[in-house]
Chains A and B, each alone.
Chain A
Amino acid sequence: MGRNAAAVLASIVGLVMVLTAFARPLEFLGTAVVDWFNVLAAIAFVLGGANLLKMNLLKISARDAGWGYSAVTVSVFLITIGVGLLKVGAHPDPLHPDVALSGDKEAVGGAFWWLYEYAMSPITSTLFALLAFYVASAAFRAFRAKNTAAILLLGTAFVVLLGRVYVGVLLTSWIPADNAWVSWLRLENLSGIIMGVFNNAGTRAMMIGIAIGIAATSLKILVGLDRSYLGSSD
Protein backbone atom coordinates (compact mmCIF):
# COMPACT_ATOMS: atom_id res chain seq x y z
CA MET A 1 0.00 0.00 0.00
CA GLY A 2 2.74 2.41 1.06
CA ARG A 3 4.83 1.67 -2.00
CA ASN A 4 1.82 1.98 -4.33
CA ALA A 5 1.03 5.40 -2.89
CA ALA A 6 4.66 6.43 -3.33
CA ALA A 7 4.66 5.22 -6.94
CA VAL A 8 1.41 7.12 -7.70
CA LEU A 9 2.83 10.27 -6.10
CA ALA A 10 6.05 9.90 -8.11
CA SER A 11 4.03 9.51 -11.31
CA ILE A 12 1.87 12.59 -10.65
CA VAL A 13 4.79 14.82 -9.68
CA GLY A 14 6.85 13.56 -12.61
CA LEU A 15 4.10 14.19 -15.16
CA VAL A 16 3.46 17.67 -13.76
CA MET A 17 7.18 18.39 -14.06
CA VAL A 18 7.11 17.30 -17.72
CA LEU A 19 4.17 19.62 -18.36
CA THR A 20 5.94 22.58 -16.69
CA ALA A 21 8.46 22.48 -19.54
CA PHE A 22 5.71 23.14 -22.11
CA ALA A 23 2.65 24.70 -20.48
CA ARG A 24 2.93 28.38 -19.65
CA PRO A 25 0.37 28.29 -16.78
CA LEU A 26 2.41 25.58 -15.02
CA GLU A 27 5.81 27.20 -15.52
CA PHE A 28 5.94 28.51 -11.95
CA LEU A 29 5.68 24.94 -10.62
CA GLY A 30 8.97 24.01 -12.31
CA THR A 31 10.96 26.35 -10.08
CA ALA A 32 8.70 25.85 -7.04
CA VAL A 33 9.40 22.11 -7.05
CA VAL A 34 13.12 22.84 -7.08
CA ASP A 35 12.60 24.92 -3.92
CA TRP A 36 10.73 22.02 -2.33
CA PHE A 37 13.57 19.67 -3.22
CA ASN A 38 16.04 22.10 -1.64
CA VAL A 39 13.98 22.14 1.56
CA LEU A 40 13.92 18.35 1.55
CA ALA A 41 17.66 18.19 0.88
CA ALA A 42 18.31 20.62 3.76
CA ILE A 43 16.34 18.38 6.12
CA ALA A 44 18.24 15.42 4.71
CA PHE A 45 21.47 17.11 5.80
CA VAL A 46 20.33 16.67 9.40
CA LEU A 47 19.59 13.00 8.72
CA GLY A 48 23.02 12.63 7.09
CA GLY A 49 24.80 14.40 9.95
CA ALA A 50 23.06 12.23 12.54
CA ASN A 51 23.95 9.08 10.60
CA LEU A 52 27.57 10.20 10.25
CA LEU A 53 27.82 10.74 14.01
CA LYS A 54 26.12 7.44 14.83
CA MET A 55 28.29 5.35 12.50
CA ASN A 56 31.55 6.92 13.61
CA LEU A 57 30.73 6.86 17.32
CA LEU A 58 29.83 3.15 16.99
CA LYS A 59 33.18 2.56 15.31
CA ILE A 60 35.06 4.40 18.05
CA SER A 61 33.28 2.58 20.84
CA ALA A 62 33.86 -0.82 19.18
CA ARG A 63 37.54 0.05 18.43
CA ASP A 64 36.95 -1.09 14.83
CA ALA A 65 39.79 -0.96 12.28
CA GLY A 66 40.45 2.71 11.50
CA TRP A 67 38.58 3.99 14.58
CA GLY A 68 41.17 6.74 14.95
CA TYR A 69 40.03 8.22 11.64
CA SER A 70 36.46 8.18 12.96
CA ALA A 71 37.60 10.19 16.00
CA VAL A 72 39.16 12.77 13.67
CA THR A 73 35.98 12.84 11.54
CA VAL A 74 33.69 13.41 14.52
CA SER A 75 35.96 16.12 15.99
CA VAL A 76 36.32 18.05 12.74
CA PHE A 77 32.60 17.68 11.98
CA LEU A 78 31.63 19.20 15.34
CA ILE A 79 34.31 21.93 15.17
CA THR A 80 33.23 23.01 11.66
CA ILE A 81 29.54 23.11 12.60
CA GLY A 82 30.33 25.09 15.77
CA VAL A 83 32.61 27.53 13.98
CA GLY A 84 30.08 28.06 11.17
CA LEU A 85 27.00 28.48 13.36
CA LEU A 86 28.67 30.74 15.91
CA LYS A 87 30.63 32.65 13.22
CA VAL A 88 33.79 32.39 15.29
CA GLY A 89 36.24 35.15 14.42
CA ALA A 90 33.93 36.76 11.84
CA HIS A 91 34.01 40.56 11.80
CA PRO A 92 30.66 42.29 12.47
CA ASP A 93 28.71 43.53 9.46
CA PRO A 94 29.65 47.25 8.99
CA LEU A 95 25.99 48.08 8.31
CA HIS A 96 24.75 46.34 11.46
CA PRO A 97 27.67 46.38 13.92
CA ASP A 98 25.43 46.06 16.98
CA VAL A 99 23.58 42.97 15.77
CA ALA A 100 24.97 39.72 17.15
CA LEU A 101 26.25 37.22 14.58
CA SER A 102 25.70 39.72 11.73
CA GLY A 103 29.14 39.13 10.21
CA ASP A 104 30.00 37.04 7.17
CA LYS A 105 31.31 33.64 8.30
CA GLU A 106 33.25 33.24 5.04
CA ALA A 107 35.00 36.61 5.31
CA VAL A 108 38.80 36.55 5.22
CA GLY A 109 40.32 36.07 8.68
CA GLY A 110 37.42 34.20 10.31
CA ALA A 111 37.78 30.70 11.70
CA PHE A 112 35.47 29.22 9.03
CA TRP A 113 37.54 30.88 6.29
CA TRP A 114 40.67 29.53 7.95
CA LEU A 115 39.30 25.97 7.89
CA TYR A 116 38.33 26.40 4.22
CA GLU A 117 41.65 27.92 3.20
CA TYR A 118 44.08 25.78 5.20
CA ALA A 119 42.26 22.47 5.65
CA MET A 120 39.62 21.86 2.99
CA SER A 121 41.42 23.47 0.03
CA PRO A 122 44.76 21.66 0.38
CA ILE A 123 43.18 18.32 1.28
CA THR A 124 40.73 18.24 -1.64
CA SER A 125 43.36 19.59 -4.07
CA THR A 126 45.73 16.82 -3.00
CA LEU A 127 43.09 14.16 -3.51
CA PHE A 128 42.24 15.53 -6.96
CA ALA A 129 45.96 15.57 -7.83
CA LEU A 130 46.17 11.86 -6.98
CA LEU A 131 44.49 11.30 -10.35
CA ALA A 132 47.81 11.98 -12.12
CA PHE A 133 49.42 9.10 -10.22
CA TYR A 134 46.53 6.72 -10.77
CA VAL A 135 46.31 7.59 -14.47
CA ALA A 136 50.03 6.80 -14.92
CA SER A 137 49.72 3.48 -13.10
CA ALA A 138 46.55 2.49 -15.00
CA ALA A 139 48.15 3.44 -18.35
CA PHE A 140 51.22 1.28 -17.64
CA ARG A 141 49.07 -1.71 -16.75
CA ALA A 142 46.13 -1.45 -19.15
CA PHE A 143 47.41 0.18 -22.37
CA ARG A 144 48.65 -2.96 -24.14
CA ALA A 145 48.48 -3.50 -27.93
CA LYS A 146 46.53 -6.74 -27.63
CA ASN A 147 44.50 -6.37 -30.85
CA THR A 148 43.76 -3.95 -33.69
CA ALA A 149 41.34 -1.87 -31.62
CA ALA A 150 43.89 -1.55 -28.81
CA ILE A 151 46.60 -0.52 -31.31
CA LEU A 152 44.31 2.23 -32.65
CA LEU A 153 43.63 3.32 -29.08
CA LEU A 154 47.35 3.44 -28.34
CA GLY A 155 48.15 5.47 -31.45
CA THR A 156 45.39 7.94 -30.63
CA ALA A 157 46.62 8.26 -27.05
CA PHE A 158 50.15 9.04 -28.21
CA VAL A 159 49.00 11.71 -30.66
CA VAL A 160 46.71 13.42 -28.13
CA LEU A 161 49.21 13.18 -25.25
CA LEU A 162 52.03 14.67 -27.34
CA GLY A 163 49.85 17.06 -29.31
CA ARG A 164 48.72 18.82 -26.13
CA VAL A 165 52.25 19.74 -25.01
CA TYR A 166 55.16 21.64 -26.51
CA VAL A 167 57.19 18.52 -27.31
CA GLY A 168 54.53 17.61 -29.88
CA VAL A 169 54.96 20.98 -31.56
CA LEU A 170 58.74 20.46 -31.65
CA LEU A 171 58.59 16.88 -32.96
CA THR A 172 56.64 17.85 -36.08
CA SER A 173 57.79 21.46 -36.48
CA TRP A 174 59.57 20.43 -39.72
CA ILE A 175 56.19 19.96 -41.41
CA PRO A 176 55.33 23.26 -43.16
CA ALA A 177 52.52 24.99 -41.27
CA ASP A 178 51.44 27.01 -44.30
CA ASN A 179 50.90 24.06 -46.65
CA ALA A 180 47.29 22.94 -46.23
CA TRP A 181 48.03 19.51 -47.78
CA VAL A 182 50.47 18.47 -45.07
CA SER A 183 50.04 20.89 -42.14
CA TRP A 184 47.29 18.69 -40.65
CA LEU A 185 50.01 16.10 -39.96
CA ARG A 186 51.60 18.34 -37.33
CA LEU A 187 50.87 16.69 -33.96
CA GLU A 188 49.04 19.69 -32.49
CA ASN A 189 46.72 19.78 -35.53
CA LEU A 190 46.28 16.01 -35.63
CA SER A 191 45.36 16.08 -31.95
CA GLY A 192 42.74 18.75 -32.70
CA ILE A 193 41.32 16.66 -35.56
CA ILE A 194 41.07 13.58 -33.33
CA MET A 195 39.29 15.56 -30.61
CA GLY A 196 37.05 17.58 -32.92
CA VAL A 197 36.10 14.91 -35.46
CA PHE A 198 36.53 11.29 -34.31
CA ASN A 199 36.05 11.86 -30.59
CA ASN A 200 33.25 14.33 -31.21
CA ALA A 201 31.38 11.90 -33.48
CA GLY A 202 31.65 9.12 -30.89
CA THR A 203 30.62 11.43 -28.04
CA ARG A 204 27.58 12.64 -29.99
CA ALA A 205 26.45 9.08 -30.75
CA MET A 206 26.81 8.11 -27.09
CA MET A 207 24.99 11.24 -25.95
CA ILE A 208 22.06 10.42 -28.24
CA GLY A 209 21.93 6.81 -27.00
CA ILE A 210 22.17 7.86 -23.35
CA ALA A 211 19.51 10.55 -23.79
CA ILE A 212 17.11 7.99 -25.27
CA GLY A 213 17.96 5.60 -22.41
CA ILE A 214 17.23 8.33 -19.86
CA ALA A 215 13.92 9.18 -21.57
CA ALA A 216 12.82 5.52 -21.61
CA THR A 217 13.86 4.93 -17.98
CA SER A 218 12.05 8.11 -16.88
CA LEU A 219 8.95 7.03 -18.77
CA LYS A 220 9.01 3.62 -17.05
CA ILE A 221 9.09 5.36 -13.68
CA LEU A 222 6.40 7.88 -14.64
CA VAL A 223 3.93 5.20 -15.69
CA GLY A 224 4.85 3.00 -12.73
CA LEU A 225 6.39 0.15 -14.75
CA ASP A 226 9.63 0.35 -12.81
CA ARG A 227 9.29 0.53 -9.04
CA SER A 228 12.55 -1.12 -8.17
CA TYR A 229 13.89 2.18 -6.81
CA LEU A 230 11.17 1.92 -4.15
CA GLY A 231 12.44 -1.46 -3.12
CA SER A 232 9.80 -3.54 -4.88
CA SER A 233 11.62 -5.46 -7.54
CA ASP A 234 9.16 -8.32 -7.55
Chain B
Amino acid sequence: MTFAVTILAQDAAPAAGWFMPGKGILAITLVIVAAAVMLSILWARAGRPIRIRKIAGLDAVDEAVGRATEMGRPVLFIPGIQDMDNIQTVAGITILGKVAKTAAEYDAEIEVPTTRSLVMTTAREAVHASYLSAGRTDSYNPDRIYYVSDEQFAFVAYTGGLMQRKRPAACFYFGCFFAESLILAENGNSIGAIQVAGTAETTQLPFFVASCDYTLIGEEFFAASAYLSGEPDQLGTLLGQDLVKGLAWAAVLVAALLATVAAVTGHEGLASFVNGARAALGGG
Protein backbone atom coordinates (compact mmCIF):
# COMPACT_ATOMS: atom_id res chain seq x y z
CA MET B 1 0.00 0.00 0.00
CA THR B 2 2.79 2.39 1.00
CA PHE B 3 4.57 1.42 -2.22
CA ALA B 4 1.48 2.27 -4.29
CA VAL B 5 1.05 5.65 -2.54
CA THR B 6 4.75 6.51 -3.06
CA ILE B 7 4.59 5.51 -6.73
CA LEU B 8 1.41 7.45 -7.42
CA ALA B 9 2.75 10.52 -5.57
CA GLN B 10 5.91 10.48 -7.72
CA ASP B 11 3.79 9.79 -10.79
CA ALA B 12 1.82 12.96 -10.16
CA ALA B 13 4.95 15.08 -9.65
CA PRO B 14 6.99 14.26 -12.76
CA ALA B 15 9.65 16.93 -12.31
CA ALA B 16 10.93 15.59 -9.01
CA GLY B 17 11.76 12.01 -7.92
CA TRP B 18 13.45 9.05 -9.47
CA PHE B 19 10.25 7.54 -10.80
CA MET B 20 9.32 8.05 -14.44
CA PRO B 21 6.07 9.96 -14.92
CA GLY B 22 3.05 8.17 -16.34
CA LYS B 23 4.24 4.72 -15.30
CA GLY B 24 2.49 4.49 -11.91
CA ILE B 25 -0.41 2.26 -12.96
CA LEU B 26 1.96 0.04 -14.94
CA ALA B 27 4.26 -0.39 -11.92
CA ILE B 28 1.36 -1.29 -9.64
CA THR B 29 0.02 -3.78 -12.23
CA LEU B 30 3.47 -5.34 -12.44
CA VAL B 31 3.61 -5.75 -8.67
CA ILE B 32 0.11 -7.32 -8.60
CA VAL B 33 1.03 -9.80 -11.38
CA ALA B 34 4.35 -10.70 -9.72
CA ALA B 35 2.70 -11.09 -6.32
CA ALA B 36 -0.09 -13.29 -7.70
CA VAL B 37 2.41 -15.56 -9.48
CA MET B 38 4.83 -15.80 -6.54
CA LEU B 39 2.05 -16.46 -3.99
CA SER B 40 0.63 -19.15 -6.25
CA ILE B 41 4.05 -20.80 -6.47
CA LEU B 42 4.26 -20.83 -2.66
CA TRP B 43 0.73 -22.29 -2.57
CA ALA B 44 1.79 -25.05 -4.95
CA ARG B 45 5.01 -25.72 -3.02
CA ALA B 46 2.95 -26.27 0.12
CA GLY B 47 1.68 -29.42 -1.58
CA ARG B 48 -1.80 -28.24 -2.50
CA PRO B 49 -3.07 -29.97 -5.62
CA ILE B 50 -3.32 -27.97 -8.85
CA ARG B 51 -5.28 -29.50 -11.69
CA ILE B 52 -4.39 -28.68 -15.27
CA ARG B 53 -6.67 -29.51 -18.17
CA LYS B 54 -5.50 -31.70 -21.02
CA ILE B 55 -3.65 -29.99 -23.85
CA ALA B 56 -4.08 -32.40 -26.75
CA GLY B 57 -1.28 -30.82 -28.80
CA LEU B 58 1.32 -31.59 -26.14
CA ASP B 59 -0.01 -35.09 -25.51
CA ALA B 60 0.43 -35.72 -29.24
CA VAL B 61 4.21 -35.20 -29.13
CA ASP B 62 4.92 -38.84 -28.23
CA GLU B 63 2.49 -40.10 -30.88
CA ALA B 64 4.00 -37.89 -33.60
CA VAL B 65 7.62 -38.73 -32.78
CA GLY B 66 6.72 -42.42 -32.49
CA ARG B 67 5.12 -42.35 -35.94
CA ALA B 68 8.23 -40.70 -37.39
CA THR B 69 10.37 -43.45 -35.84
CA GLU B 70 8.16 -46.20 -37.28
CA MET B 71 8.24 -44.65 -40.73
CA GLY B 72 11.99 -44.02 -40.58
CA ARG B 73 11.50 -40.36 -41.37
CA PRO B 74 12.83 -37.31 -39.52
CA VAL B 75 11.06 -34.96 -37.11
CA LEU B 76 11.08 -31.29 -38.10
CA PHE B 77 11.01 -28.59 -35.40
CA ILE B 78 10.84 -24.86 -36.21
CA PRO B 79 11.20 -22.49 -33.22
CA GLY B 80 9.66 -19.50 -35.01
CA ILE B 81 11.45 -16.85 -37.04
CA GLN B 82 12.42 -14.37 -34.35
CA ASP B 83 15.55 -14.01 -32.20
CA MET B 84 16.17 -15.00 -28.56
CA ASP B 85 14.94 -11.59 -27.37
CA ASN B 86 11.41 -12.74 -28.22
CA ILE B 87 9.76 -14.62 -25.36
CA GLN B 88 7.92 -16.86 -27.85
CA THR B 89 11.26 -18.16 -29.12
CA VAL B 90 12.27 -18.95 -25.52
CA ALA B 91 8.98 -20.82 -25.00
CA GLY B 92 9.55 -22.65 -28.30
CA ILE B 93 13.03 -23.76 -27.22
CA THR B 94 11.53 -25.10 -23.98
CA ILE B 95 9.17 -27.33 -25.98
CA LEU B 96 12.04 -28.29 -28.30
CA GLY B 97 13.77 -29.76 -25.24
CA LYS B 98 10.80 -32.07 -24.63
CA VAL B 99 10.44 -33.06 -28.30
CA ALA B 100 14.19 -33.71 -28.57
CA LYS B 101 14.16 -35.89 -25.46
CA THR B 102 11.33 -37.99 -26.91
CA ALA B 103 13.18 -38.18 -30.23
CA ALA B 104 16.35 -39.27 -28.42
CA GLU B 105 14.46 -41.98 -26.51
CA TYR B 106 12.84 -43.27 -29.70
CA ASP B 107 16.08 -42.85 -31.67
CA ALA B 108 14.34 -40.62 -34.23
CA GLU B 109 16.25 -38.03 -36.23
CA ILE B 110 15.36 -34.42 -35.36
CA GLU B 111 16.05 -31.50 -37.70
CA VAL B 112 15.93 -27.87 -36.51
CA PRO B 113 16.44 -25.15 -39.15
CA THR B 114 16.61 -21.64 -37.62
CA THR B 115 16.46 -18.06 -38.86
CA ARG B 116 18.87 -16.66 -36.28
CA SER B 117 22.29 -17.98 -35.33
CA LEU B 118 21.71 -17.17 -31.63
CA VAL B 119 18.61 -19.36 -31.77
CA MET B 120 20.70 -22.08 -33.42
CA THR B 121 23.24 -21.94 -30.58
CA THR B 122 20.53 -22.03 -27.90
CA ALA B 123 18.64 -24.84 -29.65
CA ARG B 124 21.84 -26.90 -29.82
CA GLU B 125 22.29 -26.48 -26.07
CA ALA B 126 18.68 -27.52 -25.39
CA VAL B 127 18.80 -30.56 -27.72
CA HIS B 128 22.19 -31.63 -26.39
CA ALA B 129 20.86 -31.52 -22.82
CA SER B 130 17.85 -33.59 -23.88
CA TYR B 131 20.02 -36.26 -25.50
CA LEU B 132 22.20 -36.23 -22.39
CA SER B 133 19.26 -36.78 -20.06
CA ALA B 134 17.97 -39.56 -22.34
CA GLY B 135 21.41 -41.19 -22.19
CA ARG B 136 21.85 -40.96 -25.97
CA THR B 137 24.67 -38.43 -26.38
CA ASP B 138 26.21 -40.67 -29.07
CA SER B 139 23.17 -40.00 -31.29
CA TYR B 140 23.31 -36.20 -30.89
CA ASN B 141 24.30 -34.49 -34.12
CA PRO B 142 24.74 -30.68 -33.85
CA ASP B 143 24.77 -30.38 -37.65
CA ARG B 144 21.04 -31.13 -37.73
CA ILE B 145 20.43 -27.84 -35.89
CA TYR B 146 21.56 -25.12 -38.22
CA TYR B 147 21.13 -21.58 -39.50
CA VAL B 148 19.38 -20.95 -42.83
CA SER B 149 18.70 -17.24 -43.30
CA ASP B 150 17.44 -14.19 -41.43
CA GLU B 151 15.28 -13.40 -44.44
CA GLN B 152 11.73 -14.67 -43.86
CA PHE B 153 10.98 -15.98 -47.33
CA ALA B 154 14.46 -17.39 -47.97
CA PHE B 155 13.84 -19.49 -44.87
CA VAL B 156 10.39 -20.48 -46.16
CA ALA B 157 11.81 -21.50 -49.54
CA TYR B 158 14.49 -23.63 -47.89
CA THR B 159 12.11 -25.26 -45.41
CA GLY B 160 9.48 -25.94 -48.08
CA GLY B 161 12.11 -27.66 -50.21
CA LEU B 162 13.40 -29.62 -47.21
CA MET B 163 9.87 -30.87 -46.46
CA GLN B 164 9.31 -32.02 -50.02
CA ARG B 165 12.68 -33.79 -50.21
CA LYS B 166 12.96 -35.35 -46.75
CA ARG B 167 9.21 -35.73 -46.10
CA PRO B 168 9.35 -35.50 -42.28
CA ALA B 169 6.62 -37.55 -40.60
CA ALA B 170 6.11 -35.01 -37.80
CA CYS B 171 6.37 -31.24 -37.99
CA PHE B 172 6.37 -28.97 -34.95
CA TYR B 173 6.01 -25.20 -35.21
CA PHE B 174 6.46 -23.48 -31.84
CA GLY B 175 7.40 -19.82 -31.66
CA CYS B 176 6.72 -16.50 -33.32
CA PHE B 177 5.45 -16.83 -36.88
CA PHE B 178 4.18 -14.41 -39.50
CA ALA B 179 3.15 -14.86 -43.14
CA GLU B 180 5.20 -18.05 -43.48
CA SER B 181 2.91 -19.97 -41.11
CA LEU B 182 0.43 -21.07 -43.77
CA ILE B 183 3.10 -21.90 -46.36
CA LEU B 184 4.94 -24.11 -43.87
CA ALA B 185 1.78 -25.78 -42.54
CA GLU B 186 0.31 -26.40 -46.01
CA ASN B 187 3.60 -27.94 -47.18
CA GLY B 188 3.54 -30.19 -44.12
CA ASN B 189 -0.07 -31.08 -44.85
CA SER B 190 0.72 -31.96 -48.45
CA ILE B 191 3.30 -34.56 -47.37
CA GLY B 192 0.92 -36.09 -44.82
CA ALA B 193 2.94 -35.16 -41.73
CA ILE B 194 1.40 -34.99 -38.25
CA GLN B 195 1.60 -31.30 -37.43
CA VAL B 196 1.53 -29.55 -34.06
CA ALA B 197 1.80 -25.76 -33.77
CA GLY B 198 1.80 -23.17 -31.02
CA THR B 199 2.12 -19.41 -31.21
CA ALA B 200 1.02 -16.23 -29.48
CA GLU B 201 0.67 -14.41 -32.81
CA THR B 202 -3.12 -14.18 -32.91
CA THR B 203 -3.12 -13.30 -36.61
CA GLN B 204 -1.42 -16.59 -37.56
CA LEU B 205 -3.55 -18.90 -35.41
CA PRO B 206 -6.32 -19.35 -38.02
CA PHE B 207 -3.78 -20.64 -40.54
CA PHE B 208 -2.31 -23.15 -38.12
CA VAL B 209 -5.78 -24.26 -37.02
CA ALA B 210 -6.76 -24.85 -40.67
CA SER B 211 -3.68 -26.85 -41.63
CA CYS B 212 -2.32 -28.53 -38.48
CA ASP B 213 -3.62 -31.48 -36.49
CA TYR B 214 -3.16 -29.70 -33.15
CA THR B 215 -2.67 -26.04 -32.32
CA LEU B 216 -1.73 -24.46 -28.99
CA ILE B 217 -3.59 -21.18 -28.89
CA GLY B 218 -2.03 -18.12 -27.28
CA GLU B 219 -1.47 -18.65 -23.58
CA GLU B 220 -1.64 -22.48 -23.92
CA PHE B 221 1.71 -22.11 -25.64
CA PHE B 222 3.22 -20.43 -22.58
CA ALA B 223 1.64 -23.05 -20.30
CA ALA B 224 3.50 -25.80 -22.16
CA SER B 225 6.59 -25.95 -19.94
CA ALA B 226 4.41 -26.27 -16.82
CA TYR B 227 2.25 -28.91 -18.49
CA LEU B 228 5.22 -30.94 -19.66
CA SER B 229 7.22 -30.79 -16.42
CA GLY B 230 4.31 -31.05 -13.93
CA GLU B 231 6.54 -29.41 -11.29
CA PRO B 232 4.73 -27.54 -8.48
CA ASP B 233 6.68 -24.31 -9.18
CA GLN B 234 5.67 -24.34 -12.83
CA LEU B 235 2.05 -25.26 -12.10
CA GLY B 236 1.95 -22.48 -9.51
CA THR B 237 2.73 -19.92 -12.19
CA LEU B 238 -0.28 -21.16 -14.15
CA LEU B 239 -2.49 -20.66 -11.11
CA GLY B 240 -1.03 -17.14 -10.75
CA GLN B 241 -1.82 -16.46 -14.40
CA ASP B 242 -5.42 -17.52 -13.86
CA LEU B 243 -5.71 -15.29 -10.79
CA VAL B 244 -4.48 -12.27 -12.76
CA LYS B 245 -6.82 -13.18 -15.60
CA GLY B 246 -9.70 -13.25 -13.11
CA LEU B 247 -8.72 -9.79 -11.87
CA ALA B 248 -8.52 -8.50 -15.47
CA TRP B 249 -11.93 -10.01 -16.21
CA ALA B 250 -13.45 -8.35 -13.13
CA ALA B 251 -11.86 -5.00 -14.01
CA VAL B 252 -13.20 -5.15 -17.58
CA LEU B 253 -16.68 -6.07 -16.33
CA VAL B 254 -16.81 -3.31 -13.71
CA ALA B 255 -15.46 -0.70 -16.14
CA ALA B 256 -17.93 -1.72 -18.86
CA LEU B 257 -20.83 -1.59 -16.38
CA LEU B 258 -19.81 1.82 -15.05
CA ALA B 259 -19.32 3.25 -18.56
CA THR B 260 -22.70 1.86 -19.66
CA VAL B 261 -24.53 3.23 -16.61
CA ALA B 262 -22.83 6.63 -17.09
CA ALA B 263 -23.86 6.70 -20.78
CA VAL B 264 -27.45 5.56 -20.16
CA THR B 265 -28.22 7.72 -17.11
CA GLY B 266 -26.07 10.71 -18.09
CA HIS B 267 -24.73 10.90 -14.54
CA GLU B 268 -22.00 13.54 -14.69
CA GLY B 269 -20.04 12.41 -11.64
CA LEU B 270 -19.89 8.83 -12.88
CA ALA B 271 -18.94 9.92 -16.41
CA SER B 272 -16.16 12.09 -15.02
CA PHE B 273 -14.89 9.16 -12.92
CA VAL B 274 -14.92 6.80 -15.94
CA ASN B 275 -13.10 9.33 -18.13
CA GLY B 276 -10.56 9.99 -15.39
CA ALA B 277 -9.90 6.26 -15.00
CA ARG B 278 -9.50 5.88 -18.77
CA ALA B 279 -7.03 8.75 -18.89
CA ALA B 280 -5.04 7.34 -15.94
CA LEU B 281 -4.79 3.98 -17.72
CA GLY B 282 -3.50 5.61 -20.90
CA GLY B 283 -6.80 5.53 -22.74
CA GLY B 284 -6.71 9.25 -23.39
Judge if B253 is at the interface, Cβ distance under 8 Å: no
Q: Which residues of B contact A51 (CB under 8 A)?
A: 117, 120, 146-147
- B50-58, B237-245, B258-266, B269-277: which lies at the interface: B237-245
| CB of B237 to closest CB in A, whole Å | 5
Determine if A179 is an interface residue (Cβ-Cβ < 8 Å).
Answer: no
Contact at A217–B222, with CB atoms within 8 Å?
yes
**Residues of A contacting B148 in the complex (Cβ-Cβ under 8 angstroms):** 52
When distances are taken between beta carbons in the complex, the residues of chain B under 8 Å from A139 are: 210
Interface residue ranges of B226-284 to A (CB < 8 Å)? 229, 233-234, 237-238, 240-241, 244-245, 248
Query: Is the CB of A127 closer than 8 A to any CB of chain B?
Result: yes
Task: Find chain B residues with CB under 8 A from A142 CB.
Answer: 210-211
Residue B219 CB within 8 A of the other chain: yes
Nearest CB of A to B204, in Å: 11
Select which of A44, A207, A219 is within 8 A of B37 by beta carbon.
A219
A51 and B148 alpha carbons, distance in the complex (Å)? 8
Q: Counting CB contacts under 8 A, is A147 at the interface?
A: no
Chain B residues with CB under 8 Å of A134's CB are 182-183, 186
Give the CA-CA distance A124 to B156 in the complex, in Å: 10
The B interface is mostly helix, strand or loop, or mixed, namely helix
19 A-B pairs in the complex with CB atoms less than 8 angstroms apart: A23-B19, A27-B20, A47-B120, A47-B121, A48-B117, A48-B150, A51-B146, A55-B147, A66-B162, A66-B165, A138-B207, A212-B241, A212-B244, A216-B244, A228-B94, A228-B97, A228-B229, A231-B129, A233-B94
For B221, give its contact among A128, A135, A213, A221 (CB under 8 Å): A213
Task: Please tell me if B122 contacts chain A, counting CB pairs below 8 Å.
Answer: yes
A41 within 8 A of B: yes
Do residues A226 and B211 form an inter-chain contact, with CB atoms below 8 A?
A: no
**Is there contact, CB below 8 Å, between A52 and B202?**
no
Query: Which residues of chain B come closer than 8 Å to A124, judged between CB atoms?
Result: 151-154
**B85 and A37 within 8 A (CB):** yes
Taking Cβ atoms with an 8 Å cutoff, the residues of B that contact A are: 17-20, 23, 26-27, 30, 33-34, 37-38, 41, 83, 85, 87, 90-91, 93-94, 97-98, 101, 116-118, 120-122, 125-130, 133, 143, 146-154, 156-157, 161-162, 165-166, 179, 182-183, 186, 189, 200, 202, 207, 210-211, 217-219, 221-223, 225, 229, 233-234, 237-238, 240-241, 244-245, 248
Whole-angstrom distance between the alpha carbons of A206 and B219 in the complex?
8
- Pick the most buried of B93, B152, B219, B244: most chain A CB atoms within 10 A of its CB: B219
- Cross-chain contact B183 with A131 (CB below 8 angstroms): yes
CA of A203 to CA of B201, assembled, Å: 11
Is A28 in contact with chain B by the CB < 8 A criterion? no
In the complex, which residues of chain A have a beta carbon less than 8 angstroms from the beta carbon of B225? Answer: 217, 220, 226, 228
CA distance A234 to B129 in the complex (A): 9
Partner of B143, one of A55, A226, A231: A55
Q: Which residue from chain A places its CB closest to the CB of B184 in the assembled complex?
A: A134
Q: How far is the CB of A188 from chain B (nearest CB, A)?
A: 22
A113 and B276 CA atoms in complex are apart in Å by 53
CB–CB B19/A22 < 8 A: yes
> Known: A55-B143, A231-B97. Contact between A22 and B27, CB under 8 A?
yes
- A residues lining the B interface (CB < 8 Å): 18, 21-25, 27, 37, 40-41, 44-45, 47-48, 51-52, 55, 58, 65-66, 69, 123-124, 127-128, 130-131, 134-135, 137-139, 141-143, 203, 206-210, 212-221, 223, 225-226, 228-234
Question: What's the Cα separation between A233 and B238 when bound, in Å?
Answer: 18
- Give the top 3 A-B pairs by smallest Cβ distance, nearest first: A48-B117, A231-B129, A213-B222
- Residues of A contacting B93 in the complex (Cβ-Cβ under 8 angstroms): 228-229
Given contacts A131-B183, A138-B186, contact A233 B202 (CB under 8 A): no
Q: How far is the CB of A135 from chain B (nearest CB, A)?
A: 7
Q: Which residues of A contact B23 (CB under 8 A)?
A: 21-22
Is the pair A212, B211 in contact by a Cβ cutoff of 8 Å?
no
Contact (Cβ within 8 A) B117 A231: no
Given contacts A44-B117, A210-B202, A216-B33, contact A138 B211 (CB under 8 A): yes
